[in-house]
Copies of this chain bind each other. A is one copy, B any other.
Amino acid sequence: MQQGGVEIFLVGPTHIIEEELSKYNTAHLTIPCIEAKELIKEGEHPALALQRKPEASVAVAARLVKQGQADAMVTMGSTGAAMVSSLYTLGTFEGIERPVLAGPFLGFAPNTVVVDYGANVDCKPHHLVNFAVIGCVLAQKFLNIPHPTVALLSIGAEEGKGNNLVRESYPLFKNSGLNFIGNVEGNDIPLGKANVIVCDGFVGNILVKFCESLGGTIAAWLRESLQGQLPAGDINSLAEKLVSLTNPAEVYGGGPLLGVNGVVIVGHGRSRAPEVAKAIHQAKYAVEIGFVETLKSELSKAQAERVQAGVGAPGQARNQAGVRGSIPLS
């Protein structure tokens, strides 16, 4: 926190934060604590927990962003709680009903963003176009892919293959001005066949959770299969590497919550100082490049220029000058 030109507020129960800070020499730092009486723990039902705990750190931090006291929120807590508090406090863009989660969820395909795994379900074709636009901005700005290829996730490569949603979306995608390469199938995801793979959040969520669980299962199988054949440390690092390659939160790292009116970076609960610093850096970067405004204006362009079906309006742009972040402890 001595570097990077950001001003940090730590949000959470002050006694916990201060106890934690007392372990380090922070005499030369100014780190204001913002009291939040409560925490939401991993495993709690996000929406119910936030109803019961309106003073939870993640809610307080979101309000700081909403009120303009902070430019961004960074959390290593429950993704669900971050999504719900962002949804309730910051709100989503028009045409986006829930915060969109997207990112390179599979380490074997680091340049492939799957969107949505948030999960926005029972989508309409224009929602999928929105997801594609969001995925492209993410790929361009965070993965440095200038002209990301876009594909619809389906059950056959040819136009006309898929369910109603995909079949109806296909012509919209063809005329969207996006770099649309057609349908891809489930087997194409690990091969990184497109930079942005678009699906309804129901499919995306199941896929991402399946991937994480399968990775863990294979890692456990590897530990068992290799026992006695390799040094324990080598087996351990191989298994851990596999878990991280198949764990969306680790692959994705501290990524932005998409489609919400504010910069919210969600990192992994297991993050240590270097990962948290990286997430803060991402928040700063997102604020500096006007990521939220870019997303909004790209979505608005998609609506105005490409899609005839009604999508949301660009909405109000926030003034994002200056970089101040808030970190909820939850």
Contact = CB atoms under 8 A, between A and B. Distances in A.
B210 A186 contact: yes
Interface string A177-221: 000000001111111000000011111011111111111111001
Interface string A219-256: 00110011001100010001001100110000000000
B209 A186 contact: yes
Contacts of A186: 205-211, 213
B213 A188 contact: yes
Which of A190, A229, A238 has the largest number of chain B CB atoms within 10 A? A190
B211 A210 contact: yes
Interface residues of A, number: 52
Contacts of A153: 206
Nearest to A225: B238
A122 interface: yes
A26 interface: no
A142 interface: no
Nearest to A214: B190
A163 interface: yes
Given A163-B121, A214-B214, A155 B205 contact: yes
Contact of A209 (B45, B166, B187): B187
A155 B202 contact: yes
A214 B217 contact: no
A329 to B, nearest CB: 25
A162 interface: yes
Contacts of A230: 229-230
A285 interface: no
A108 interface: yes
A144 interface: no
A151 B202 CA distance: 16
B163 A200 contact: yes
A67 interface: no
A119 interface: yes
B206 A218 contact: no
A69 interface: no
A76 B127 CA distance: 41
A108 B203 contact: no
A9 to B, nearest CB: 32
Contacts of A211: 186, 210, 214
A159 to B, nearest CB: 13
A121 B155 CA distance: 10
A271 to B, nearest CB: 20
Interface string A31-49: 0000000000000010000
Given A202-B163, A230-B229, A210 B238 contact: no
Contacts of A199: 206
Report the 9 A-B pairs with minimum CB-CB distance, sorted nearest first: A186-B209, A186-B210, A187-B213, A186-B206, A187-B209, A190-B217, A121-B163, A155-B205, A163-B202
Given A122-B164, A203-B203, 7 more contacts: A108-B218, A108-B221, A186-B209, A186-B211, A187-B210, A210-B210, A218-B218
